[in-house]
Structure 1
Amino acid sequence: MSRFKRGFSHVDPGIFVVLAICLLALWPFISRPSLPLETDAELHIFRLAELSRLIRAGELFPRWAPNFYYGYGYPIFNYYAPLTYYLGLGIDFMPVLGPVQAVKALFILGLAGAGIGMYSYVRELWGRPAGLVSAAAYIYAPYVLFVDPHARGDLAESFSFALFPLALWAMDRLRRRPSSWNWLISITLVSAVVLSHNLMAMVFTTLLAGWVIWQMIIGGIRSPFDHRSNLASWILQFRLLNSLILGVGVAAFFWLALVLEQDAVNLSSLVGKGGHFDFRNHFLTVRELFSLPQRIDWGASEPNFLLSGGLVQLLLGGIGILAVAVGWARRRSQGWYFVFASAGLVLMILPVSTFFWEILPLIQFLQFPWRLLGPLAAVLAVLNGIGTDVVVQRVAPRVKFLVPAIAVGLIMISSLALIQVPPWPEDFGATTAARVLQEELSGRWLGTTSTADFVPARVDIMPKAKGAMKEAILNNQPIDRVNWATLPEDTDVITEYLSPLHFRYHVSGNNDFLLRLFLFDFPGWRGTVDGQAVKTEVGRPEGFLVVPVPAGEHEVEVEFGQTPARTLAVGISGISLFLALLIAWFWYRNPPELAENYDETGIGNEKMNHVLWSLICISLAVFLLNAVIIERAGWLHQMSTGAQAIPASFDVDAKFGDQIALIGYDSAERTVHPGDQVEITAYWKALQPLDINYQVFVHLKDAEDNLVAQSDKLNPGDFPTKRWPIDKYVRDEHQLLLPADLPPGEYQLSLGLWVVEDGWRLPLLDNSGAQIRDNFILSPPLIVE
């Protein structure tokens, strides 16, 4: 027991305060069962379930998901960062638990880890009070608190927000106290950052690289040189750069394979000018960046929210910037990096950075400039801590403990509206392959991606689901991928399933023939006939795998395996890991004699208990205020019911057939100019469960009824109508780009619904049920000057 007490005494009490601060942020996940059905969280659940099935079947690192995309297979694990799924397996494999509980646990760990990581880094440079305020500023930044985990449900990106400050903390410890342990932790966490989320890995690795370069510029890395150059001293001198390179190298088995095989899939759907993924459509204004959270409407199928940097965080960060700029801040040279980083990130979020988005390589794959709100929250959190430390050092000793309490209280209170997350169903439902197929058939996504991101490049036409394969998946039976309709007469095929990614076919026939399989061809699939490798072919236009088979009786095997690119990537990971362990072993045998210790309180130990208890009290007070009063009274959320959309500027009741009603719309612009972008938002509501996926159009016509601009969507609100609930409205945003040579005059906006496959429109009905027209005309008309 005494040993336990001694070990427990070494735990920083500030960690428990961070967890108390986190409690309010974690409450929506803790207080409710299951997870939402209509966010990306469901995609991560299905991916984890698929990986779990493959791991249990002996495929330790599958790059292929055989049950996705109607059973044709999908290379999701070759292109999407795998870390969160493998971490989730540790929970999924536990008795009683499953993929839903695993994903929820990772959301919780991600938020808590973000706070602990940020606190740990800032505490060691600017003291505990600063670290605790930084933790709160980071956790309650709108993008970290609400947008990623709840509105988007992006598990991988959300989890990356925990790994970045942890990696920064580890690398800073390596800078100040080089040891084999700090070396390995640093490399592990850098590698984890790279494996957490494809896009955030690029951003956070760039920020870490910039931080390393900054340490070299300011002389933040103590030199062991005694005028004798040798390999050991070189490794120690450049330990930060080496740890960063080796950390990225350890993760090469994933990212390098992705880069080398990027042409094997159709990544063009992820970027494009003029579409939803055009970065030009997703900049923020300065006003939006500084906005306070708005109340969320629980009557919406998907909550509308403001993308913001967090007003309180930006203001407190401004104090930190001022403190660094005028020389008030301790460790000012360290603070300058975060000043420059915050300025750069703000610049890249605003439209003024369009030029850089157009010329910088790979950045367009970020798609949304507002995505940088997450990294901005991290650097702002550090500046919040610096600002807090400056104030603490300058106020009277008796009130020092109140400074972090007031800062944390303001941050948490300003975020209360974002804690009012719309309720979700108590039961997520099955996570089987049959459930995945049902979701794909509903039209919302395919292969757990909404834009066919990773469809093999050899697929010219997207094939529809095959009846026999559908039945097999829905009935939990092995998938028969043989295209029987193309087999010659007197040809027999018997299928043997060796593993989810390895099939054996016993064939016999009187003639040479092509064994066509309902399986997407992709690098890694290889075929053998009687143990001899054969060159497979591609069945166009669907891109299915084809194996040439000679006449007679043969044993044909089809297996998914390595490629030269993957072998190279794995080899580089192995070399990087070996070098990391070798240097760790050397340092273990020959410990570096460098240490740089800082005062970790910044306030004096005699006052620290006051700080910790005041923060615990303010955190629990705000938590109870929300749980006991605000949530029950419903003060901080809206609730549209019936034929009502509270956020709509114009209320209407326009019924299209007996299917869908337009219950409101927004049209802010009244007077515009040629070349402007006109924004229209429609609020739709299903009148009954729908069995057709309708398309939507918005038309702008002149006085002679000529079409001059339009916006069309395959799914209104990017939500297939078959999946629309009947108790919530769907918010549908449109942007119309006016022609640069559009003549001045009065123009009319209209919208409607139609079926693209058959070319017919839903009729607009009057109160008696008679058809008026096939579109709804918005008022007032648009004036072009």
Structure 2
Amino acid sequence: MLDRAKTQTKGPQHFVTRADVLAWIVLAIAAVLASLPLLTRGYSCGHDFDFHLRSWMEASTQWKGGIVKPVWAFHAAWDAGEPRLLFYPPLSWMTGALLTLLLPWSGIVFSFTALILFLCGVSMHRLLRRWVSPGLAVLGGCLYLVNPYMLFCAYERTAYAELMAAAWMPLLLIGLLRERVTAWRIAVAIALLWISNAPAAVVGCYTMLLIGGMRWLYLLRKDRNAAWPYFGRVTAGFLLGVLLDAFYLFPFAVERKFITLNAALTPAASPEANYLFAYSKDEFHNGVLLHSSTIALVLVAAALVCGGVALLLQRKQVRAFAGMHDRDASLQQHNAWRIVVPLLMIYSVIVLVLQTPVSGPVWHHAPQLNFLQFPWRFLAMQGAVSVTVVMLMVKRITASHAVTQKTNTTWIVAGLVLTLVAAYGLANPIFRQGCDDEEGLAPQWTFFHRGDGFEQTDEYTPTHDDNDVLKIKLPAAWIAQDVRNQPASGNGSFPKGTPLPAEQIPHSDDLIFTAHATHADDVLIVRLRPFYGWHVVLDGVEQSALPQRPDGLLAVPLNSVGKHRVEARYRKPWDQWAGGALSLLGLGFLIIAAKREESSHSSLLR
């Protein structure tokens, strides 16, 4: 069914194989099967369901209003707003928002999950296809997209951003383990991780340090001339990946001091509370720990046992990385089975140790590792590692058998059956979460468009703003004689300004009010938490050093009796423009690096 027939396109290196096209079709079917319970049994209201759903609604609404790159979530903090769309990696919420514009609302969760699982399968297939037969590569893709941690994220946690980041984990392994390591491939994987999910990106960076470091040490012992070029390419790839994401990372670095980011580091979301089979007084959290701990043991055991079997079955002469050339010293000169499998087994042991209290000093002193919160987040990469080792073991066991169309078809059918069994035998009965009356898609959509707003995110709350005193169902604005005033019933509220003549229509981020002051000390209170980038203009004059309220809402002294025009305008600060320029620069470097790689490879094939 799957063969290596090639349809040539431009150049000797570029081709599309029929095997790849058929593999993508099979993996798309597998992703649909794995997500099918979300369509037939209804969506799962997992731990992060509300957060992601509201971000999708916020972004799609702002797109309709003409805001191309949303930053400010106007409906958060009960319509006072927060900068969640600036600080949260954009790829997942942009994807979800796009789906809300293209598809019926009732199928959004199923469509998003199926799409991401498909990408997971494709990336794993791309990793495996260089080492195993086409059928086994498809089976590995199916196994990866339904590995327990993937279903745990998709159904129980509904951690959609982390789920999306898992799609890029195999790409990072490709960059680190391929025969000819290139900076641009590592850069693409690192960039995709950072714009998908920050904790997963931290996992990716430490994985690059561990696996890349171990391979570098191996090369130092075997071939010093190859070791330093490898080190340089991996380092350059990391730096280029960060540069590509400067449009997101640079503003994050500059503006993080204006939010209470450390609020995410709660006692329940700390490494100490989430070690292997830890126990707390919170029964709900204990259920999560039981599932994550069991998954950790299963994945690590699979890697160690299957890796051991593969090494035991290793013959003295094994083909190393079929289809690769020998320009870069290492994996072709030295047996691939003696390098890749041990590296992945050692990595698996490290991941297991990180799940235990023994690793406490590492969690407290390694840079940014504490923001990972849960040690079991390393299982996103461990899933890719375990599937790789399992498929290499299967390859060793079946090495004496010829690869035929029949055997490829058998592996493919096995993969599809596996996804269906995992969906209805594991994901639906074990990981699936029920929904309260107000958690469902339809109620949340109704609340959002009714203008009720939704709860703030503590870590994205502007500094000095107290969430405990922030009231709900406040008017858009009201006049008070005291900065601390809360509106009473009938206390003149002012809705959002009416549209101006066409040549003066404000930017979509603008809030405009016309206030009539009856006292010289009147203050206009606006249901908005000002943040870096917001500018307040009173009667054409920009204001600074405005009075502070405990709840963080904007307070503008009107200073005189009469009619006043108050404008709150959000304009991208310099750091966001600079980040965009740096990303364009990185894109240019990426294209040049990829072209040089293509040219170099083509010259070697002549």
- Residues 1:496 and 2:497 are matched in the alignment: yes
Mind listing any 5+ residue stretches in structure 1 that lack a counterpart? 227-233, 289-301, 470-479, 597-785
State the distance in 2 between where 1:410 and 1:377 align: 16
State the distance in 1 between where 2:377 and 2:469 align: 33
Counterpart contact for 1:504–1:556, Cα < 8 Å: yes
* Residue in 2 that maps onto 1:97: 104
* Residue in 1 that maps onto 2:307: 321
* Residue in 1 that maps onto 2:148: 142
Change (3 A) 1:586 1:303: closer
* Match runs of 1:385-784 below 5 Å: 385-393=391-399, 417-421=425-429, 422=432, 428-432=441-445, 434-435=447-448, 446-447=455-456, 449=457, 452-460=458-466, 462-469=468-475, 480-484=476-480, 486=482, 496=497, 498-507=506-515, 509=517, 511=520, 514-551=523-560, 554-584=564-594, 590-593=599-602
* Residue in 2 that maps onto 1:88: 96
Residue 516 of structure 1: SS of its match in structure 2?
Answer: strand
- Residues 1:120 and 2:126 are matched in the alignment: yes
Change (3 A) 1:193 1:264: same
* Match runs of 1:164-175 below 5 Å: 164-169=169-174
* Residue in 2 that maps onto 1:201: 201
State the distance in 2 between where 1:123 and 1:494 align: 59
Counterpart contact for 1:63–1:77, Cα < 8 Å: yes
Pairwise CA distance, 1:396: 9.1
Counterpart contact for 2:512–2:567, Cα < 8 Å: yes
Pairwise CA distance, 1:53: 0.8
Residue 482 of structure 1: SS of its match in structure 2?
Answer: strand
Pairwise CA distance, 1:518: 2.4
State the distance in 2 between where 1:285 and 1:494 align: 52
State the distance in 1 between where 2:99 and 2:581 align: 30
Change (3 A) 1:595 1:459: farther
State the distance in 2 between where 1:238 and 1:284 align: 36
| Residue from 129, 144, 154 that aligns with 2:159 | 154
Change (3 A) 1:253 1:315: same
Pairwise CA distance, 1:196: 0.6
- Residues 1:284 and 2:284 are matched in the alignment: no
Please report the TM-score for the alignment, with normalisation by the length of structure 1.
Answer: 0.60
Pairwise CA distance, 1:550: 4.4
State the distance in 2 between where 1:430 and 1:240 align: 48
Pairwise CA distance, 1:48: 0.4
- Residues 1:27 and 2:23 are matched in the alignment: no
State the distance in 2 between where 1:54 and 1:253 align: 19
Provide, for residues 215-261 of structure 1, a one-character-per-residue CA deviation record: whole Å limited to 9, x for no partner: 555559xx9x99xxxxxxx9999555433322221112222322332
| Residue from 17, 20, 38 that aligns with 1:11 | 20
State the distance in 1 between where 2:427 and 2:345 align: 29
State the distance in 2 between where 1:595 and 1:349 align: 45
* Residue in 1 that maps onto 2:114: 108
**Aligned-partner residue type, residue 387 of structure 1:** M
Mind listing any 5+ residue stretches in structure 2 that lack a counterpart? 1-6, 10-14, 280-286, 321-335, 486-491, 499-505
Identify the structure with the greater helix proportion.
Answer: 2
Residue 63 of structure 1: SS of its match in structure 2?
Answer: coil
Counterpart contact for 2:525–2:556, Cα < 8 Å: yes
State the distance in 2 between where 1:87 and 1:538 align: 39
Pairwise CA distance, 1:135: 2.6
Identify the structure with the greater strand proportion.
Answer: 1
State the distance in 2 between where 1:250 and 1:385 align: 33
| Residue from 382, 385, 402 that aligns with 2:388 | 382
Moved more, 559-568 or 317-326: 317-326
Provide, for residues 564-621 of structure 1, a one-character-per-residue CA deviation record: whole Å limited to 9, x for no partner: 4434433332322233234456667x5544669xxxxxxxxxxxxxxxxxxxxxxxxx
* Residue in 2 that maps onto 1:40: 48
Moved more, 41-50 or 5-14: 5-14
State the distance in 1 between where 2:234 and 2:602 align: 16
Pairwise CA distance, 1:500: 5.0
Counterpart contact for 1:515–1:547, Cα < 8 Å: yes
State the distance in 1 between where 2:311 and 2:16 align: 41
State the distance in 2 between where 1:492 and 1:37 align: 36
Counterpart contact for 2:515–2:524, Cα < 8 Å: no
Pairwise CA distance, 1:56: 1.3
Change (3 A) 1:412 1:556: closer
Pairwise CA distance, 1:200: 0.9
Counterpart contact for 2:134–2:408, Cα < 8 Å: no
Change (3 A) 1:218 1:323: farther
State the distance in 1 between where 2:541 and 2:600 align: 54
State the distance in 2 between where 1:344 and 1:406 align: 34
- Residues 1:258 and 2:258 are matched in the alignment: no
**Aligned-partner residue type, residue 97 of structure 1:** P
Change (3 A) 1:347 1:513: same
State the distance in 1 between where 2:144 and 2:565 align: 59
Change (3 A) 1:30 1:215: farther
Pairwise CA distance, 1:164: 1.9
Counterpart contact for 2:303–2:345, Cα < 8 Å: no
Change (3 A) 1:341 1:538: farther
Change (3 A) 1:438 1:113: same
Change (3 A) 1:109 1:186: farther
* Residue in 2 that maps onto 1:663: none
State the distance in 2 between where 1:56 and 1:514 align: 33
Counterpart contact for 1:320–1:384, Cα < 8 Å: yes
Counterpart contact for 1:81–1:196, Cα < 8 Å: yes
**Aligned-partner residue type, residue 190 of structure 2:** V
Change (3 A) 1:453 1:281: same
State the distance in 1 between where 2:555 and 2:343 align: 55
Counterpart contact for 2:274–2:289, Cα < 8 Å: no
**Aligned-partner residue type, residue 194 of structure 1:** W
Change (3 A) 1:568 1:206: farther
Residue 101 of structure 1: SS of its match in structure 2?
Answer: helix
- Residues 1:190 and 2:187 are matched in the alignment: no
Residue 113 of structure 2: SS of its match in structure 1?
Answer: helix
Pairwise CA distance, 1:262: 2.3
Identity %: 18
Moved more, 512-521 or 57-66: 512-521
| Residue from 317, 338, 342 that aligns with 2:348 | 342
Change (3 A) 1:559 1:317: same
State the distance in 2 between where 1:87 and 1:461 align: 30
* Residue in 2 that maps onto 1:352: 358
State the distance in 2 between where 1:493 and 1:420 align: 48
Pairwise CA distance, 1:80: 1.4
* Match runs of 1:172-251 below 5 Å: 176=180, 183=184, 187-213=187-213, 216-218=216-218, 238-251=232-245
Return the structure number with greater relative CO, CA threshold 8 A, min gap 6.
Answer: 2
Residue 90 of structure 1: SS of its match in structure 2?
Answer: helix
Change (3 A) 1:557 1:433: farther
Pairwise CA distance, 1:121: 0.3
State the distance in 1 between where 2:450 and 2:217 align: 54
Counterpart contact for 1:492–1:508, Cα < 8 Å: no
Change (3 A) 1:584 1:155: same
Residue 151 of structure 1: SS of its match in structure 2?
Answer: helix
**Aligned-partner residue type, residue 263 of structure 1:** K
State the distance in 2 between where 1:152 and 1:494 align: 38
